[in-house]
Amino acid sequence: MMKIVGINGSLRNESHSFQALQLASLRVEALGVDVEILDLRQMDLPFCHGGEDYPNYPDVEILRETVKSANGLILVTPEYHGSVSGVIKNALDLMSFEHLEQKVTGLISVLGGQSNNNALNDLRTIMRWVHAWVIPEQIAVGQAWNQFDSEGKLKDEKLSKRFDNFAQSLVENTRKLNM
């Protein structure tokens, strides 16, 4: 069975990024694909020092092997100061081509302010650099504090439809690349 791994790039307890990842994951699962979420809030990862070995951090190996075994990825980041969170950047830096290349990847950013593409463009560059395949559909959730209802569902029907299109594209392109 095809497997997609989702990574949440926020450490906040009430993370809108995690809510967006959960929504995307549910929509991918509804298309018959297995999804595993790596919640970086629950992992003990060191700052990347550029080396390969992190013997005191078993979660580094869990991160690497989980991503390596996946057919595709969903990466979600809050946008901080016009770019990706240090948390998701560090997690990606702890991996190499061995883990990330050829992964079909969908990107989502979550912002407190107006929607823009800064973090998405930076993530796209990072993933292209490690030879991943980024789908053209991407989602920027602007004013995230006002986008989710009390049950974690999206209030805006157009934004909800974008999540549907995102999931469909991620699944279709992952299947094509993994035939």
CATH number at residue 162: 3.40.50.360
Amino acid at 132: A
Q: Which residues contact 156 (CB under 8 A, 6 or more apart)?
A: 147
Separation in Å, CA 133 to CA 8, 17, 29, 126: 19, 22, 20, 11
Per-residue pLDDT of the chain (179 residues; tens, 9 = 90+): 899 999 999 999 889 999 999 999 999 999 999 999 999 999 999 999 988 899 999 999 999 999 999 999 999 999 999 999 999 999 999 999 999 999 999 999 999 877 788 999 999 999 999 999 999 999 999 888 888 888 888 888 999 999 999 999 999 999 999 87
The structural domain count of the chain equals: 1
pTM: predicted TM-score of the whole model, two decimal places: 0.96
Domain around 162: 3-177
